[in-house]
Amino acid sequence: MNQQNKIKILLFGSTGFIGKKVSSLIETDFPQIEIINSQSRLENTQDVAKELDLIQPDRVINAAGITGIPNVDWCESHKQETLRVNLVGSLALIDSCWKRNIHIIQFGTGCIYQYDENHKENSGNKFTEKDPPNFFGSYYSKTKGIFQDLLDIFDNVLLLRIRMPITSHLEDSKNLISKLIKYSKVVNIPNSMSVLEDLLPVMVDMCIKKVVGVFNFTNPGSISHNEILTLYQKFIDPNFKWENFSIEEQNKILKAERSNNELDSSKLLEIYPDIPHIKDSMIKVFERIKKSIKNQ
Ligand SMILES: NC(=O)c1ccc[n+]([C@@H]2O[C@H](COP(=O)([O-])OP(=O)(O)OC[C@H]3O[C@@H](n4cnc5c(N)ncnc54)[C@H](OP(=O)(O)O)[C@@H]3O)[C@@H](O)[C@H]2O)c1
């Protein structure tokens, strides 16, 4: 296929955890797409506009954002930087795409909700795309919630709300499994999660088809940290041990609170009914990890 017939995508955040996965997936499995890594910083809005005019992409994917080093606690002491990139810069990018009639996929987060009276754990009442944010316990989540609320006037945006991303690679330091096995204590609460091997191919399909709107971008169902670590014990290390602690105890060692919730994935499943339940997908993830360890 010659370059002229390809769909040209400009990718922001190509060096990040999710951006790298997007880039390598497209390069490997989607020969009809040409992917170009953005060179501009989101807060430099004139550079971003110039880059859009120079590259003239058919689509934009924004996987860039401040996530904190080593985690979102960092955002509590770097509020201006967090706001400038995650809200001001990301919004300016979306507006620049809107002015140029370019479809953009924005990676968002489902960490803007927490279980409450109307959405109790395992109650079947999950957070839909229409629910307003109810978790403001961290500056990261607060700005993400405000940002997402502002997007409804744009008809060129697909907002994909991911949670606790998981891959089949323990070397990915931001893979939830890699994080859990390093923590000395974990909370034991069911949560929605996003297995990237299941969901990123869906993201590319939505990009090709220019789907717009807000989608909870998680596997259906929920799974607890204990269930994941039990699978780790079963598939990878029978001697692995861990301890639990309460949310109150966890809050004492963190600068910012963390959210726990289950998102309703039925809107996504209406278009992509084959996305596996999180508990089935996690078994496949551990089978792949086990296989890759055997082959080392
Ligand atoms: N990982 C999660 O748990 C999770 C969960 C839900 C949602 N998300 C969202 O998904 C997106 C990607 O997350 P991630 O985990 O892949 O993050 P990440 O590994 O921290 O990568 C962030 C990416 O954004 C780029 N970036 C940061 N500041 C930038 C700026 N001012 N201008 C341009 N690029 C900038 C980074 O490039 P440099 O290194 O050059 O700065 C890097 O490529 C974020 O919006 C995040 O909030 C992540």
What are the structural domain ranges in the chain? 3-289
What residues of the chain score a pLDDT lower than 50? none
Atom of ligand 1 nearest to the CA of 16: 21
User: Residue 253 has what pLDDT?
Assistant: 86
In testing the pocket of ligand 1, which one of 12, 18, 200 has its CB within 8 Å of the most ligand atoms? Answer: 18
The matching CATH number, chosen from 3.40.50.360, 4.10.520.10, 3.40.50.720, 3.40.50.300, for 3-289 is: 3.40.50.720
Contact status, residue 34 vs residue 7, Cβ threshold 8 Å: yes
21 C-alpha vs ligand 1 centroid, how far in Å? 12
In short, whether 17's Cβ falls inside 6 Å of ligand 1 is: yes
Measuring CA to CA, which residue among 222, 219, 296, 207 is closest to residue 265?
219
| Pairwise CA distance, residues 162 & 202, whole Å | 13
User: Residue 296 has what pLDDT?
Assistant: 83
User: Residue 197 has what pLDDT?
Assistant: 98
Closest residue by CA, ligand 1 atom 42:
16
In short, whether 109's Cβ falls inside 6 Å of ligand 1 is: yes
Atom of ligand 1 nearest to the CA of 42: 32
User: Residue 252 has what pLDDT?
Assistant: 84
